[in-house]
Amino acid sequence: MTLCVKIPIKKTQEVKEFLMTKGLIDQRYKPKKEKEHILIPIKKKGVKKEFKYVSYENANVEVKKEKGGIKKRLEGKLTKEEMKRIQRAYDIVGSIAIIEIPKGLERKEKLIAETIFNINKNIKTVLKKAGIHSDEFRTIPLRWVTGKKTKETTAKENKVQLKLNVEKVYYSPRSSNERKRIMELIKPEEEVLVMFSGCGPFTCVIAKNTPAKMVVGVEKNPIGHEYEKENIKLNRLKNAKAILGDVRDMVPKLGRFDRILMPLPMIAEEFLDLALKAIKKGGTIHLYQFINWEEKDKLRKKVRDICAREGKRCRILRIVKSGQFSPKTSRVCVDIKVQ
């Protein structure tokens, strides 16, 4: 008997995203489908506190045939030294896998890409990183390695579909759980501003899943803006709109908001003064930053100093980890209540 979480079929996707993010799925076993529920084998409990409609059950489930991950499948095809440099982790956006080829393994990139292609039946294209992120739009050059020759795909998360070109528009599937956290904070009739909105993940997730009156996304990247407009239509959202332009120019023209999101961790603090001018009294600002977690008190002081400089009384509700940028650097969100 294996510990499983029992999920109503209609709720499977959102719970599975949470399980994958937290690493709770027991990959040794196959999920088991019943008439109205799915049983997903898990390593330990911790799901029910997030989703009240699930339950736990010990069930007989089928053991997966041992196929192995990328390193297992490459054994005997690469030297021991080459195997040491292979990276297990890679990003999947919709039907596209994005990989990094370690220095010195360029001649083996086709073999590595085809191995990944064969691991996951949902992957139709494998691209490799061919440079570093740009400063302005956070995009990264990518080169085709195998599969369908495309850089456009449709990702699914939190009940929305997001169409994008993975080379021209920044999008992180790893932030889906953070978007879920924010959407659960939205109150009825809130007017929400998403600065640096990209192809619209925050815009669409909030507009689709909450009682927000209106969600406005402002994006400087014209390609990202066009995808955001398309995604609003794709998800049939009546309470969302996309605006093209620099937030410094556009936000002062938009009035005031109950909630403002600033998902640009590298430089978002440089625009906090702008958000403070656009937030309603009693509203909340979500400021994203990259920090060493041990230095969170410095970030807390910096935010308070900016608020004081702008003549605003602010209370920091919490600083939440929302991802890992590097071994010593976390992506965090500072939830700021403006009084």
pLDDT digits (tens, 9 = 90+) for 98-124: 999 988 899 999 999 999 988 888 899
Q: Are 128 and 185 in contact (CB under 8 A)?
A: no
pLDDT of 301 over the 90 cut: yes
State the Cα–Cα distance between residues 206 and 263, nearest whole angstrom: 14
State the Cα–Cα distance between residues 280 and 255, nearest whole angstrom: 9
Count CA atoms closer than 13 A to 251's CA, side-chain side: 27
pTM of the complete model:
0.79
At the second CATH level, the architecture of 171-338 is: 3-Layer(aba) Sandwich (3.40)
pLDDT, tens only, 129-180: 998 776 578 889 999 999 999 999 999 999 999 999 999 999 999 899 999 9
For the chain, give every residue range classified as CATH 3.40.50.150.
Answer: 171-338
Has domain 2-59 been given CATH number 3.30.70.2580? yes
Backbone angles phi, psi at 86, to 5 degrees: -65, 135
State the pLDDT at residue 89: 79
192: closest CA among 249, 136, 251, 273?
Answer: 251
Strand ranges across the sheet with 329-338: 240-244, 214-219, 191-195, 257-262, 279-291, 329-338, 314-326
For the chain, give every residue range classified as CATH 3.30.300.110.
Answer: 70-150
State the pLDDT at residue 134: 66
Domain 70-150 classification at class level: alpha beta
Backbone angles phi, psi at 50, to 5 degrees: -95, -35
Helix axes 222-234, 201-209, angle to 10 degrees: 20
For the chain, give every residue range classified as CATH 3.30.70.2580.
Answer: 2-59
pLDDT, tens only, 182-237: 999 999 999 999 999 999 999 999 999 999 999 999 999 999 999 999 999 999 99
